[in-house]
C-alpha cells in the first residue's frame, strides 16, 4: 500500500521517548529552522517524541474529520489530495523516530516503542478502516475516467483506492475489528523480533585469552578485538562479537577450528539460544497472524496477498524463477564442496567439511587459485577514497556534485553530511552517511529518508534528506577504515538506493523515491555494484591508503578473475533463505498453540528437505534472526534481491552495448525512467521504458558464473 497509511504502520522501525516535553520547547512542533530544513538533531531529546507523535496523531485525525465532514461532494482535490497532504507533523517526527530506532536506539527507547506500537497501528487503522472516508475515496474512484486527470494524478487515485481496499476498508465490520486486533499484535511482535536480534548481537561475545588461538587472523582483526577487550576492561585479551566486521574475518581466517565452530554456531543461532532474546514463539505467532489476516482479506496465503503488488505478481512466478537459479547454483556449490574437501584431505585432516569450515577453506582455495589475500585487498579500499570514487562515478553519469557540509546538524559524531548538487550547482538534497557499528545500531546496511521529495500544494519543491547506514570495518590499530571487497560493493549498493531517493522528481509524497515494489526497489542499488567491479573504473578509486598508489594491474586482474569464485555457495546460501521465506508465507493453515515454539525448527527442516540444501551450507538468514521477513518489510519478498539482480544485470547490459560504461544517453534514460519516477508508473512499464523490452535472465546467469 503505497500511501502514508502504511508509512504510519511501519511499527518494526519505530523508536519512542520516555517522557513528555513542553510544547514550546519541542522542535517537532514547528518547521525545522536549520540549514536545508534538516532535523535539528542537537535539539532533539528523548522527551520530545511522545508528545510530538501524540500531537501529530491528534492533528491528523482532525484533518481526516474535516475531509469526512465536508459538505461538498467528493472530488480529487478535497478528498484524495487532502488525504495525501495530511499529517504534516507526523511527517516531521516519524522519520526521525524510525531512523533513531535503527541507528541510535537504547533499551529505554525500545521499551517505550513496545508500548506505543499498538497506538500507531490503531491510528493507521482508524484511517484506512474509516467507512465515511472510504466512501468518499470510492466516489472519486468511480468517476476517475471523467475527471481529466494526468497520469500521475490517476496513479495517485488508483493507488489510494487500492490501499484502502488492501487495508480492509471493504470488509464487513466484524472482520475489520479482527483485522485491527491482528495489526496491533503484529506491530508489537515484529518490533520485539528486531529488538531481540539486536539484543542477542550486542550481548554475545567470545573472549580469547591465548594469543596462539588467534593464528591466521589478519592484524586488523586482532587489533580490533584487542581494542574491544580494552574497552570492556579486559586488557591483554581479545573480544570477538557477532557484528559482521568481527564475525566474518574470524570465519574466513581463524585456524582454530573449534573457535570457528563456536563463532558460526552463535552467529546462525541469534534469537535461538533459549534466553531473553529467543524469537521462536514470536515467529509462530507472526506466522499464524499473517495467515489469518491474508484469509480475512480473501487470499489463500500471506504470499498471495503480498505478491499481488509486485513485479512478479504471483507465487508460481517466484518459485519458477528461484528454482531455475537454485538448480544451477546447487550443482556448482557441490563442486566447490568437493574441491574444499580435497584440500582438507590433502592437508591430512580427518574431518568432513562443515558449515564453519566453508569460508575458511574457500579463502584458502581462492588464495591458491588467484593469489588473493583479503587483507592485501583492503589496503586499497580506504573508506574515504572509495567514497570519492562513488562521487566521481555519479558525476560522470549524471553530473552530480557532492559538497561536505560542516554546518548541518548531525545525529551522531561519526556521521558525514553532504549537499548534493546538479551539474549547474542547483540544490538536489542532503545525504547523511553513517558507516561503523555501535551497540545502538542494528546490523546490516540500509538507506532511509528523513524527508522524502515532494511538491507541496502551493507548488514548492521539497528537496529530500536521505541517509545511508552501514556497519563497515572501523578504524583500528592505527589504520583508517579499510573496507573488505564485500563492504566496498555494499557501499556502492546503498549509494544506489540513496540516488533513488535523492533524484526523485514527482509530485506526491506517497509516490516519491523508493515507493516502488520490493522486487523493483533493489534495481537502482544493485546496478551501482557493476561500476564497482569494472577494472577501468576501479583503478580510479582503488588506491593504497598509505602511498596513494593505484592497485597494481596484476592484482586487479586477479581480483576481477576471482569475482565469480564461490558463486555456488553465495547463490545457494541466498536462495535457501528465499525458499525459507516462501515456505513460511505460502502456508494456508495455522499452527496449534502448543506448537508455536517449534514452528521455526519445523519450517527450517521442511525447507532443507524440500530443496535438498547440503549440510555444508546454512541459510544466509536463519529463521530466528531473519529480520528481513519478520521485522523488516520483506515478508514473501526476500527473493526480491535476486530478482533485482536479474534487472540490474540486464539493465547494465544497456551500457555495455554502447561500448561506454558512462554513456550519457543511457545514463539520462536510466535517470529519467527509473531514478526520477518513484512509484508513478507500473514497475515493468518503467523498466520497458528504459530498456525497450522486458528483462532477460542470461546476463544474470553470466554475471554469477552459473553457465558453463
Q: Compute CA distances 456 → 88, 461, 485, whole Å.
A: 11, 6, 42
Which stretches of 171-281 are assigned E, i.e. beta strand? Answer: 205-208, 238-241
What pLDDT does residue 482 have? 96
Rounded Cα–Cα distance for residues 218 and 223 (Å): 9
Asked whether 476 and 223 are in contact (CB, 8 A), the reply is: yes
Query: Comparing C-alpha atoms, which of 101, 74, 224, 44 is closest to residue 160?
Result: 74
Q: What is the mean pLDDT of residues 542-554?
A: 96
Residue ranges of the domains in the chain? 4-167, 172-202+276-330+567-708, 204-268, 378-514
Rounded Cα–Cα distance for residues 10 and 4 (Å): 10
What pLDDT does residue 286 have? 98
Q: What is the mean pLDDT of residues 230-255?
A: 96
Query: Comparing C-alpha atoms, which of 308, 320, 334 is closest to residue 163?
Result: 308
Q: Write out pLDDT tens, residues 454-493.
A: 999 999 999 999 999 999 999 988 899 999 999 999 999 9
Asked whether 452 and 513 are in contact (CB, 8 A), the reply is: yes
Q: Write out pLDDT tens, residues 270-293.
A: 999 999 999 999 999 999 999 999
Rounded Cα–Cα distance for residues 295 and 142 (Å): 27
pLDDT of 5 higher than 80: no
Q: Please identify, in words, the CATH class of the domain defined by 172-202+276-330+567-708.
A: mainly alpha
Asked whether 685 and 566 are in contact (CB, 8 A), the reply is: no
- pTM score: 0.90
What pLDDT does residue 11 have? 36
pLDDT of 361 higher than 90: yes
Q: Write out pLDDT tens, residues 424-437.
A: 999 999 999 999 99
Asked whether 367 and 647 are in contact (CB, 8 A), the reply is: no
Q: Give the position of cell 519541542.
A: 26
Query: Comparing C-alpha atoms, which of 59, 32, 54 is closest to residue 43?
Result: 32
Asked whether 368 and 474 are in contact (CB, 8 A), the reply is: no
- The whole-chain average pLDDT of the chain stands at 93
Q: What is the mean pLDDT of residues 159-183?
A: 97
**Domains 4-167 and 172-202+276-330+567-708 equal at CATH topology level:** yes
Q: Give the position of cell 516531521.
A: 92
pLDDT of 260 higher than 90: yes
Q: Give the position of cell 517524541.
A: 49
Angle of helix 244-253 relative to helix 257-268, nearest 10 degrees, comes to: 140
Per-position DSSP letters for 168-182, written without gaps between them? TTTS-HHHHHHHHHH
Q: Which residues contact 557 (CB under 8 A, 6 or more apart)?
A: 535
Per-position DSSP letters for 519-558, written without gaps between them? HHHTHHHHHHHHHHT-HHHHTTT-B-TTT-PBPPHHHHHH
Query: Comparing C-alpha atoms, which of 626, 447, 449 is closest to residue 521?
Result: 447
Helix (H) or strand (E) holding 568: helix 567-585
Specify the CATH architecture of the domain 4-167: Orthogonal Bundle (1.10)
Query: pLDDT category, 706, cuts 50, 70, 90?
Result: confident
The pairing of beta strand 446-451 with beta strand 465-469: antiparallel
Q: Write out pLDDT tens, residues 36-89.
A: 999 999 999 888 999 999 999 999 999 999 999 999 999 999 999 999 999 999
- State residue 82 phi and psi, 5-degree precision: -60, -40
Question: Can you say whether residue 168 is alpha, beta or left, with left for phi > 0 and alpha for psi between -120 and 50 degrees?
Answer: left
Q: Write out pLDDT tens, residues 84-97.
A: 999 999 999 999 99
Alpha helices in 129-150 (DSSP H): 131-142
Catalytic residue among 487, 494, 522, 583: 494
Question: 48: which 3 cell numbers?
Answer: 520530545
Alpha helices in 69-106 (DSSP H): 82-84, 88-103
Asked whether 397 and 495 are in contact (CB, 8 A), the reply is: no
Return the bridge partners of 421, or none. 401, 427
Q: Is 494 a catalytic residue?
A: yes
What pLDDT does residue 703 have? 86
Q: Superfamily assignment of 378-514 in CATH?
A: Collagenase (Catalytic Domain) (3.40.390.10)
Amino acid at each position: 500500500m503505497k500511501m502514508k497509511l502504511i508509512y504510519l504502520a511501519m511499527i518494526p522501525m519505530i523508536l519512542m521517548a520516555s517522557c513528555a516535553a513542553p510544547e514550546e520547547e519541542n522542535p517537532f512542533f514547528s518547521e525545522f529552522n536549520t540549514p536545508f530544513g534538516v532535523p535539528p538533531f542537537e535539539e532533539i531529546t528523548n522527551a520530545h517524541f511522545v508528545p510530538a507523535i501524540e500531537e501529530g496523531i491528534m492533528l491528523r485525525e482532525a484533518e481526516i474529520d474535516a475531509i469526512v465532514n465536508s459538505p461538498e461532494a467528493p472530488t480529487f482535490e478535497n478528498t484524495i489530495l487532502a488525504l495525501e497532504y495530511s499529517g504534516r507533523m507526523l511527517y516531521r517526527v516519524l522519520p526521525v523516530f524510525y531512523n533513531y530506532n535503527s541507528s541510535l536506539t537504547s533499551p529505554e527507547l525500545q521499551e517505550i516503542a513496545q508500548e506505543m506500537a499498538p497506538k500507531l497501528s490503531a491510528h493507521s487503522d482508524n484511517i484506512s478502516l474509516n467507512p465515511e472516508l472510504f466512501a468518499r475515496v470510492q466516489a472519486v474512484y468511480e468517476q476517475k475516467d471523467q475527471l481529466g486527470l494526468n497520469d500521475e494524478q490517476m496513479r495517485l487515485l488508483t493507488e489510494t483506492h487500492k490501499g484502502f481496499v488492501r487495508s480492509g476498508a471493504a470488509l464487513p465490520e466484524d472482520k475489520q475489528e479482527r483485522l485491527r486486533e491482528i495489526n496491533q499484535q503484529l506491530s508489537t511482535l515484529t518490533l520485539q523480533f528486531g529488538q531481540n536480534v539486536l539484543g542477542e548481537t550486542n550481548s554475545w561475545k567470545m573472549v580469547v585469552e591465548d594469543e596462539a588461538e588467534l593464528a591466521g587472523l589478519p592484524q586488523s582483526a586482532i587489533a580490533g578485538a584487542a581494542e574491544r577487550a580494552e574497552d570492556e576492561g579486559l586488557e591483554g585479551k581479545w573480544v570477538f562479537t557477532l557484528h559482521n566486521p568481527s564475525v566474518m574475518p574470524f570465519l574466513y581466517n581463524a585456524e582454530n577450528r573449534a573457535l570457528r565452530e563456536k563463532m558460526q554456531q552463535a552467529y546462525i543461532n541469534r534469537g535461538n539460544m533459549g534466553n531473553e532474546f529467543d524469537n521462536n514463539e514470536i515467529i509462530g505467532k507472526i506466522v499464524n497472524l499473517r495467515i489469518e489476516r491474508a484469509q480475512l482479506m480473501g487470499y489463500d496465503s500471506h504470499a498471495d496477498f503480498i505478491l499481488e503488488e509486485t513485479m512478479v505478481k504471483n507465487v508460481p512466478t517466484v518459485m519458477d524463477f528461484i528454482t531455475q537459479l537454485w538448480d544451477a547454483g546447487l550443482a556448482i556449490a557441490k563442486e566447490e564442496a568437493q574441491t574444499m574437501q580435497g584440500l582438507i584431505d590433502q592437508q591430512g585432516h580427518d574431518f568432513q567439511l562443515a558449515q564453519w569450515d566453508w569460508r575458511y577453506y574457500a579463502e584458502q582455495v581462492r588464495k591458491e587459485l588467484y593469489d588473493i589475500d583479503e587483507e592485501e585487498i583492503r589496503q586499497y579500499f580506504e573508506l574515504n577514497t572509495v567514497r570519492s570514487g562513488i562521487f566521481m562515478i555519479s558525476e560522470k553519469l549524471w553530473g552530480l556534485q557532492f559538497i561536505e557540509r560542516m554546518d548541518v546538524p548531525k545525529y551522531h559524531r561519526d556521521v558525514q553530511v553532504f549537499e548534493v548538487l546538479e551539474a549547474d550547482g542547483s540544490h538536489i538534497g542532503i545525504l547523511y552517511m553513517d558507516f561503523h557499528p555501535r551497540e545502538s545500531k542494528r546490523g546490516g546496511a540500509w538507506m532511509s529518508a528523513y524527508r522524502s521529495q515532494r511538491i507541496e500544494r502551493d507548488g514548492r519543491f521539497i528537496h529530500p534528506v536521505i541517509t545511508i547506514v552501514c556497519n563497515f570495518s572501523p578504524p583500528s590499530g592505527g589504520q583508517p577504515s579499510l573496507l573488505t571487497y564485500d563492504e566496498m560493493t555494499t557501499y556502492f549498493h546503498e549509494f544506489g538506493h540513496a540516488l533513488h531517493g535523492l533524484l526523485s522528481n514527482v509530485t506526491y509524497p506517497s509516490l516519491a523515491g523508493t515507493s516502488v515494489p520490493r522486487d523493483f526497489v533493489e534495481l537502482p542499488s544493485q546496478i551501482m555494484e557493476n561500476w564497482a567491479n569494472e577494472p577501468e573504473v576501479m583503478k580510479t578509486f582503488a588506491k593504497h591508503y598509505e602511498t596513494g598508489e593505484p592497485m597494481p594491474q596484476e592484482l586487479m586482474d586477479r581480483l576481477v578473475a576471482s569475482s565469480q569464485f564461490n558463486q555456488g555457495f553465495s547463490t545457494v546460501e541466498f536462495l535457501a533463505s528465499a525458499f525459507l521465506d516462501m515456505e513460511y508465507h505460502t502456508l494456508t493453515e495455522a499452527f496449534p498453540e502448543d506448537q508455536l515454539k517449534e514452528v521455526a525448527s519445523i519450517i527450517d527442516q521442511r525447507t532443507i528437505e524440500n530443496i535438498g540444501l547440503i549440510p555444508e551450507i546454512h541459510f544466509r538468514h536463519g529463521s530466528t534472526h531473519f529480520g528481513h521477513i519478520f521485522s523488516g518489510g520483506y515478508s514473501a519478498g526476500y527473493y526480491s534481491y535476486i530478482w533485482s539482480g536479474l534487472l540490474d544485470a540486464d539493465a547494465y547490459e544497456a551500457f555495455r552495448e554502447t561500448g561506454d560504461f558512462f554513456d550519457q544517453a543511457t545514463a539520462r534514460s536510466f535517470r529519467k525512467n527509473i531514478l526520477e519516477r518513484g512509484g508513478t508508473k507500473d514497475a515493468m512499464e518503467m523498466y520497458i521504458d528504459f530498456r525497450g523490452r522486458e528483462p532477460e535472465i542470461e546476463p544474470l546467469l553470466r554475471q554469477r558464473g552459473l553457465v558453463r
